[in-house]
Amino acid sequence: MCGISAILLGDTKATTAAVELHESIYYLQHRGQDAAGITVCQGGRLYQMKGNGMASKVFQEPARLTENLPGYGGISHVRYPTAGTSSASEAQPFYDSPFGLSLAVNGNLVNSTELRSFLDLEARRHVNTDSDSELLLNVYAHALHELGKSRANADDIFAGLREVYSRCKGGFACVAMITGFGILGFRDENGIRPLCLGSRPSTTLDGAMDYMMASESVALTQLGFTNIVDIKPGAAVFIEKGGDPQFRQIVDMKSYTPDIFEMVYFSRPDSTMDGISIHRSRQNMGRKLADKVKEILGEKGVEEIDIVIPIPETSNTSAAVLASCLNKPLSNAFVKNRYTFRTFIMPGQKARQQGIRRKLSPIKSEFRDKVVLLVDDSIVRGNTSREIVLMSREAGASKVILASCSPEITHPHVHGIDLADPAQLVAHNKTRQEIAKLIGADELIYQSLDDLKAACFDAVEGEKNITDFEVGVFCGKYQTEVPESYFDHISEIRAKGKKRRSAGEEGPDAKKLTLVANGAPVNVQKESETRPETVNTSQEDISLHNFATER
């Protein structure tokens, strides 16, 4: 799971696209903390900065963004590693030569082995990393190259995408930039990964419009964009420099089934996604979960509960509604350290375990001699739950009940969230009672899958276009066909990543990369404009090759 955004300013003389993209990254930082990157365009020249770490680390001099990254359009990415490793070489956006193509991907492909074979033996294209996003980039770049044109028009941009949808299988949402021409956004034919588009009047050119795309609506609304629409499954939108959005249905919509884990955990509560209010969906989850608590514990068991305590922060909304429905007091008795990573996003099991107690600490007076009902959004490996239950007992709780807003996670997430190998999932091949014993809880309660779906459907605002949800993590039935070889491939990638980390190769502290490229050919006629005087001349201008140099 990653976060992506793209912007095209209506004023083509503007140089502040990177400033807007940098701001959008902070609204999407929760979607990925492993790496960040921005690529912008000024005329026929690309400027890029990317590297491992959070945005504040990669972009250490935000005041100089217009100097280092001048441009009127661009794309950005925050990465949470899925299929691939934590190498700095896999930080996005990626770049390829046809028409100066840059691409950022949120999602995961399930036929990487097949794609690598095609690119090697038929397309004869070199793939440099283990990232399946680079595979998607090369498939699209090959399709554009096969057009045989020195310059592409909008119809060509859309035509090249047919090859992407034909060959790339999985869940993905992508933003791309054609140097000097425009920005592009497209989404898988099941709508598993999110992408939306908004607009606002230009502040520097009367009558012009700025356009922006992002994984979540909050990144648009906070930057003043309105008229927000979701890109439909199997559809694309291309916005030419100085033009209006052009929408095209590239392939037929197979389904409209967004990943329900977006509502459970990943998305911000102030976002609306595919018509679903994330905040409202989590309120509904709390209401449904309260009914399940009554069903499992019975009237006497509910009476014993002294206090309801959410595990911050995603479950806060659900826990508040649940407490109200049970007529029990709510206490934010676990204090979250805001200067830590989300634990299941942290690369490496050891780092996740060490981060749990650093992340949460109990207010002991709220636990002492009480029957506590803890509410969490989900239970993945069980490490966090086990530590939380233990901390509750250490704080003096007489009985600990844990309730999850989602059902048991029993299968891998194949469409962009690297939850765990099946053997690491605490609910894999175990009963509810066995899981409760493993994590040390007196009682464990899960939301049912039907209730979770209903909670999300009931949060739709306006016209309901969604037909169902991607729920494979809970039942093993995915919206896309997943070849058995995919799971072997992911295991190999994980093993390779562990070897690299143990060997001391590029890790989270790798330096950020900066690229200034004047690639050939690009989809723009040569212009007489000169390089802005404010650009740092110590950055290397690479005319032919897409090499990244450390600053």
Where in the sequence numbering do the catalytic residues fall? 2
| Residue that has been written with the tokens 């969230």 in this structure | 417
Q: Give CA–CA dist 522/42, Å, rounded.
A: 12
Q: Give CA–CA dist 187/192, Å, rounded.
A: 8
Asked if 81 and 348 touch (Cβ cutoff 8 Å), the reply is: no
Q: Which residues are registered as beta bridge partners of 184? A: 176, 238
User: Where does residue 163 rank: exposed (0-12), middle (13-18), buried (19+ CB within 10 A)?
Assistant: middle
CA angle 301, 305, 310 (to 5 degrees): 125
Strands of 352-456, DSSP E: 360-362, 371-376, 399-404, 443-446
Beta strand 443-446 pairing with 399-404? parallel
Q: Give CA–CA dist 66/57, Å, rounded.
A: 18
Sheet containing 94-96: which strands, arranged edge to edge?
A: 94-96, 101-109, 170-178, 182-187, 235-240, 245-249
The token pair at 34 is 């492993």
C-alpha pair distances (Å), 159 with each of 42, 74, 140, 250, 419: 25, 22, 10, 8, 35
DSSP-derived secondary structure letter, 406: S
Q: Give CA–CA dist 288/299, Å, rounded.
A: 16
DSSP-derived secondary structure letter, 72: S
With both helix axes pointing from N to C terminus, report the angle between 278-304 and 449-457 in degrees, rounded to the nearest 10: 140
Q: Give CA–CA dist 435/443, Å, rounded.
A: 10
